């Protein structure tokens, strides 16, 4: 084209830079932020990504792996931290650190979970405490159940007068441990309720174990002391045997005799909670942006997604943008446990918030973020991750989705349809099967259910190349016929570990066989002959090992492999030979290859296929 000068092209070197520094990045970092951290131009990152086949925009989030790879390319090792950790760091940095910190660190109210055996009075105790605190004339006195409530000690005589305590409203250790399994530590103190007329029971012991596991201090409320058959000392003795020794017996555990029903000693219990809280030195920084944990979340018909969040540090303010789990939002409105609207919530405050873009889960961490785009970016990134995780674990996958994955993923998949006799065994097996997956073979449960194997099951299996597992169930007659016709594999089992074994073996068969190569020998080409109808014959001398008539060979020219194939013919003088050993001369032709030259080297080897061990 006349007069056309191509624009200068920026050349991005394909050579990685030497590692010279260390940067800290957050999960789901945007291209822009990464470039900033690396102190390079955004467009260099984008063009490098392009080189990797990733089309990214400035604000696109990258997963930690890709971001780290990019950073390494530009000469930096990475330390990846979660978004919450980063948010905390930012806030601490803004607040300064240590003693000369400009921002005040103040004590915060303790957060308490009530645990104990069923019927020992947990709910009654929660209700009584709540009622005593509202009875003192707070507006309306109607309490909402939002997952937690805050009380204030109103007894003017009490040394703890005016102090506040937060009670989590779901008693028992299941909820407590479920939260913990999601990485949330919401509870500072456990109040263990033990009925004085019943003593230590199995769930009492469990509760102790759970509190210990979480390293949360325990206060014992010996309840129902109003009952004539109450034996509080027996409770103390039983608990002392389990390591909870009362202070009056020289131990460290605080015991309070109460009656939840008669509201006896509730103030004393609350004072003791404050005392234990003081020992734990619970502190927070009210002036920073809020972080917390979701206690409850529900979809409200009129109001959309609603979550109760326990603000653990900082102050949550109406209008704040936030990320919670993989959901983001902006605090449109906030309510306290009495249903009253709030503008701001200091540390250790349970609040109900509106303005979520989705439904988070109990135990999700809550973080206030400066701007909405960032909040959205992080939540989108997390949602995508969650989707991927769910897909990998999901028990129902559409056939299109499946085909797509087989096409794109490098993994092999074993599709399974599982039928069992009872729901319990189906669940156990589903779980077991999903855990058998490894990075080479993914087990995918297309369908699981209770009942006999039906024609529909077989059709699905045949359509999606799945095997059917029947646990203590049989195929229906028609299904059996169809399976034979469609060559669908049905495996019937009644013992879990046998089934597990068989799947493991099937996985081994599925894996790409590893090819093991065994070196046999070498021959040097002395001269070559062209023989009509046969092709090129190389006159060789075997210089090492042995050449066999069924060997696989590499033809090396100046140590470069120029061809790889098989021996076509092997002759000693005029006769076919099975093998020729070191020092002997022979004629070799290579199947389908004629361009052999003098001084080439023929290297012979054998391969065998070994099924890879399934790494289960």
Choice between 119 and 613, CB closer to ligand GDP: 119
Least Å distance between CB 201 and ligand GDP? 11
Choice between 190 and 416, CB closer to ligand GDP: 190
Site membership for ligand GDP, residue 180 (CB under 6 A): no
Site membership for ligand GDP, residue 223 (CB under 6 A): yes
Site membership for ligand GDP, residue 438 (CB under 6 A): no
Q: Are 490 and 466 in contact (CB under 8 A)?
A: no
What does 54-92 look like in DSSP terms, one character per residue?
Answer: ----TT-EE-HHHHHHHHHHTTEEEEEE-HHHHHHHHHH
Across 373-390, b (16+ Cβ under 10 Å) vs e yields: ebbbbbbebbeeeeeeee
Choice between 133 and 313, CB closer to ligand GDP: 133
- What single DSSP character describes residue 532? T
Choice between 260 and 293, CB closer to ligand GDP: 260
Q: Are 42 and 35 in contact (CB under 8 A)?
A: yes
Choice between 258 and 324, CB closer to ligand GDP: 258
Please choose, out of 32-40, 103-111, 224-232, 274-282, the segment that lies near ligand GDP by the rule CB under 6 A: 224-232
Cα 383 to Cα 378, 379, 390, distances in angstroms: 8, 6, 10
Residue 62, CA atoms < 13 Å, CB-side half-sphere: 27
With CB under 6 A as the contact rule, the residue among 68, 78, 203, 259 that binds ligand GDP is: 259
Choice between 202 and 410, CB closer to ligand GDP: 202
Site membership for ligand GDP, residue 224 (CB under 6 A): yes
**Residue number, nearest CB to ligand GDP:** 121
Tokens of 99: 């003693």
With CB under 6 A as the contact rule, the residue among 44, 63, 226, 421 that binds ligand GDP is: 226
Q: Are 334 and 298 in contact (CB under 8 A)?
A: no
User: In sequence order, which residues have a C-beta less than 8 Å from that of residue 322 and are 6 or more positions away?
Assistant: 290, 328, 329, 330, 331, 366, 367, 368, 369, 375
Please choose, out of 258-266, 362-370, 536-544, 606-614, the segment that lies near ligand GDP by the rule CB under 6 A: 258-266
Site membership for ligand GDP, residue 72 (CB under 6 A): no
Least Å distance between CB 411 and ligand GDP? 48
Least Å distance between CB 49 and ligand GDP? 56
Q: Compose the 21-60 pattern: x for residues touching ligand GDP by CB under 6 A, - for all others.
A: ----------------------------------------
Least Å distance between CB 174 and ligand GDP? 13
Q: Compose the 130-169 pattern: x for residues touching ligand GDP by CB under 6 A, - for all others.
A: ----------------------------------------
Across 46-58, b (16+ Cβ under 10 Å) vs e yields: bebbeeeeeebee
Choice between 270 and 588, CB closer to ligand GDP: 270
Say how many residues touch ligand GDP, by CB under 6 A.
16
The strand pairing partners of 189, in sequence order, are 112
Taking the C-alpha atoms of residue 195 and residue 221, their distance in angstroms, rounded to an integer, is 8
Residue with tokens 């199947």: 591
Residue with tokens 């502190």: 283
Per CB under 6 A, which of residues 73..132 are in contact with ligand GDP? 116, 118-124
Taking the C-alpha atoms of residue 496 and residue 499, their distance in angstroms, rounded to an integer, is 5
Is the C-alpha dihedral spanning 113, 114, 118, 122 positive or negative? Answer: negative
Least Å distance between CB 262 and ligand GDP? 6
With CB under 6 A as the contact rule, the residue among 152, 234, 261, 572 that binds ligand GDP is: 261
Choice between 42 and 221, CB closer to ligand GDP: 221
Taking the C-alpha atoms of residue 570 and residue 588, their distance in angstroms, rounded to an integer, is 5
Choice between 123 and 480, CB closer to ligand GDP: 123
User: In sequence order, which residues have a C-beta less than 8 Å from that of residue 207 and are 6 or more positions away?
Assistant: 115, 116, 117, 172, 173, 190, 192
Choice between 260 and 282, CB closer to ligand GDP: 260
Least Å distance between CB 263 and ligand GDP? 9
| Phi (first) and psi of residue 303, to 5 degrees | -105, -5
Least Å distance between CB 272 and ligand GDP? 17
DSSP E strands: which ranges in 153-247? Answer: 164-168, 189-195, 218-223
Least Å distance between CB 254 and ligand GDP? 18
Least Å distance between CB 124 and ligand GDP? 3
Per CB under 6 A, which of residues 440..499 are in contact with ligand GDP? none
Write down how long the chain is. 616
Decide: residue 535, CB within 10 A, 0-12 exposed, 13-18 middle, 19+ buried.
Answer: middle
Choice between 224 and 374, CB closer to ligand GDP: 224
Least Å distance between CB 229 and ligand GDP? 10
User: In sequence order, which residues have a C-beta less than 8 Å from that of residue 404 and are 6 or more positions away?
Assistant: none
Is the C-alpha dihedral spanning 266, 272, 275, 279 positive or negative? Answer: negative
- What single DSSP character describes residue 303? T
Q: Compose the 286-315 pattern: x for residues touching ligand GDP by CB under 6 A, - for all others.
A: ------------------------------
Choice between 146 and 260, CB closer to ligand GDP: 260
Site membership for ligand GDP, residue 384 (CB under 6 A): no
Please choose, out of 63-71, 205-213, 255-263, 269-277, the segment that lies near ligand GDP by the rule CB under 6 A: 255-263
Least Å distance between CB 177 and ligand GDP? 17
Q: Are 184 and 363 in contact (CB under 8 A)?
A: yes
Choice between 219 and 378, CB closer to ligand GDP: 219
Cα 550 to Cα 38, 79, 445, 585, distances in angstroms: 57, 54, 44, 17
With CB under 6 A as the contact rule, the residue among 260, 414, 416, 537 that binds ligand GDP is: 260
Taking the C-alpha atoms of residue 111 and residue 341, their distance in angstroms, rounded to an integer, is 22
Least Å distance between CB 175 and ligand GDP? 13
Choice between 264 and 430, CB closer to ligand GDP: 264
Choice between 116 and 232, CB closer to ligand GDP: 116
Q: Which residues contact ligand GDP (rule: CB under 6 A)?
A: 116, 118-124, 171, 223-224, 226-227, 259-261
């Amino acid at each position: 084209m006349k007069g056309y000068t191509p624009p200068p092209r920026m050349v991005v070197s394909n050579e990685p830079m030497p590692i010279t520094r260390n940067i800290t990045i957050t999960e789901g970092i945007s291209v822009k932020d990464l470039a900033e951290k690396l102190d390079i131009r955004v467009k260099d990152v984008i063009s490098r990504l392009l080189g990797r086949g990733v089309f990214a925009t400035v604000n696109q989030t990258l997963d930690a792996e890709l971001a780290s790879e990019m950073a390494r390319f530009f000469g930096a090792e990475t330390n990846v931290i979660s978004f919450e950790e980063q948010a905390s760091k930012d806030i601490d940095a803004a607040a300064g650190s240590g003693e000369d910190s400009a921002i005040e660190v103040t004590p915060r109210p303790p957060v308490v979970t009530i645990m104990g055996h069923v019927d020992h009075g947990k709910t009654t105790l929660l209700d009584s405490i709540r009622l005593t605190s509202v009875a003192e004339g707070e507006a309306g006195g109607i309490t909402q159940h939002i997952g937690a409530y805050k009380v204030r000690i109103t007894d003017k005589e009490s040394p703890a007068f005016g102090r506040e305590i937060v009670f989590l409203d779901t008693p028992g250790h299941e909820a407590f441990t479920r939260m913990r399994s999601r990485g949330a530590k919401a509870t500072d103190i456990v109040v263990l309720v033990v009925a004085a007329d019943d003593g230590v029971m199995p769930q009492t012991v469990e509760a102790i174990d759970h509190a210990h596991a979480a390293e949360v201090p325990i206060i014992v409320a010996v309840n129902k002391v109003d009952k004539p058959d109450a034996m509080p000392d027996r409770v103390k003795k039983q608990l002392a045997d389990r390591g909870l020794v009362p202070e009056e017996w020289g131990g460290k555990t605080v015991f309070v005799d109460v009656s939840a029903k008669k509201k006896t000693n509730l103030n004393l219990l609350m004072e003791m909670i404050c005392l234990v809280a003081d020992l734990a030195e619970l502190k927070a920084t009210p002036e920073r942006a809020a972080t917390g944990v979701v206690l409850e979340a529900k979809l409200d018909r009129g109001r959309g997604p609603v979550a109760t969040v326990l603000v653990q540090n900082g102050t949550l303010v109406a209008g704040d943008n936030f990320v919670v789990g993989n959901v983001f939002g902006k605090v449109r409105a906030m309510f306290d446990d009495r249903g009253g609207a709030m503008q701001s919530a200091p540390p250790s405050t349970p609040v109900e918030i509106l303005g979520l873009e989705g439904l988070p889960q109990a135990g999700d961490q809550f973080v206030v973020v400066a701007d909405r785009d960032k909040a959205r970016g992080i939540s989108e990134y997390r949602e995508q991750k969650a989707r991927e995780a769910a897909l990998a674990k999901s028990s129902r996958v559409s056939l299109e989705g499946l085909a797509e994955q087989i096409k794109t993923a490098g993994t092999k998949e074993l599709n399974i349809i599982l039928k069992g006799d009872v729901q319990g065994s189906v669940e156990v097996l589903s779980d077991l099967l999903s855990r058998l997956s490894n990075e080479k073979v993914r087990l995918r449960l297309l369908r699981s259910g209770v009942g006999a194997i039906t024609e529909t099951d077989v059709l699905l299996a045949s359509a999606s190349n799945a095997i059917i597992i029947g646990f203590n169930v049989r195929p229906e007659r028609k299904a059996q016929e169809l399976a034979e016709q469609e060559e669908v594999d049905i495996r019937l089992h009644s013992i879990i570990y046998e089934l597990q074994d068989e799947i493991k073996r099937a996985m081994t068969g599925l894996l790409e066989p590893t090819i093991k190569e065994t070196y046999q020998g070498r021959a040097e080409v002395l001269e070559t002959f062209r023989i009509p109808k046969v092709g090129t014959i190389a006159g060789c001398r075997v210089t090492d090992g042995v050449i066999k008539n069924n060997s696989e060979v590499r033809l090396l020219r100046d140590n470069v492999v120029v061809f790889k194939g098989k021996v076509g013919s092997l002759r000693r003088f005029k006769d076919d030979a099975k093998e020729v050993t070191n020092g002997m001369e022979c004629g070799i032709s290579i199947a389908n290859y004629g361009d052999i030259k003098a001084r080439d080297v023929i290297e012979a080897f054998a391969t065998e296929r070994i099924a890879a061990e399934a790494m289960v």
